[in-house]
Amino acid sequence: MRIYRTAIAAAWIAAAVAAAQVAPVTLTPPASRVKPPSADGFIQRWLLLEPIETSGLTETAVQAAVKKEYFPGQFTVVPRDGDKVTVGALQLAWHAVDTINYNVNLYQFAHALGKPTSNVLFWAVTVVNVPREIPGVRLAIGSNSASVWWVNGQEVIGIYGDRQTVIDDGVSKRLTLKAGANIVRAAIVNGGGATDFCARFLDANDKPFKDFTVDLNGVRKQ
């Protein structure tokens, strides 16, 4: 009887965890041309590509996965919502999303589309517009699991292994945001289970930088 109760309890917990990963809904289509950051400076609007199969969370495996060419212009193009790319035998679409939270729930994104959520690579792109040149900022990110990040075409952060999303888990060296459009690009690799990411800029005093808007229609390529 005890074994039976234990099995029932385990099944109930698994079902509860699965339900929690898909509800409540945290991702919505953008409802405006531009979007400011959250009160804590987090970027809440992104273009996400449907997941690509891959495996491995070590630095070697992740770097090999993100440096492989899956589609033309993967390090330069700024897609529009609904644009499609061909990866192997699959045609994958880009989706513009807003998150109501500080983080972007990639499990929810893929699950809602009927796409795989484990052993996959997600590409994410956003366009950060600033009114003037801003020196001395740092990109600060977190991800579940591994991720690699670029700002205006330069690789600035890589974190690896089977990890949970922690705010400001990875922080870049000081960099300069140029006046106008700045392209932030990320590749997030998930091994299994839940997956998400978060990103914001920190100013020269390591406080959240919030003097920007996100406009995904502002530029086509850097």
Spatial distance between the Cα atoms of 218 and 128, rounded to a whole number of angstroms: 9
* pLDDT reported for residue 219: 56
Which domains are seen in the chain, by residue range? 25-214 (2.60.120)
Rounded to an integer, the average pLDDT of 6-20 is: 39
**10 Å Cβ neighbour count for 20?**
10
Contact call for residues 170 and 140 (beta carbons, < 8 A): yes
Rounded to an integer, the average pLDDT of 147-169 is: 98
Task: Round the average pLDDT of the chain to a whole number and report it.
Answer: 90
| Least-confidence region, from 16-20, 36-40, 107-111 | 16-20
Which whole-number Å values give the CA distances from 55 to 52, 60, 66, in the listed order? 10, 11, 11
> Cβ-count burial of 219 within 10 angstroms (0-12 exposed, 13-18 middle, 19+ buried)?
middle
pLDDT category of residue 177 using cuts at 50, 70 and 90? very high
pLDDT at residue 115 greater than cutoff 60: yes
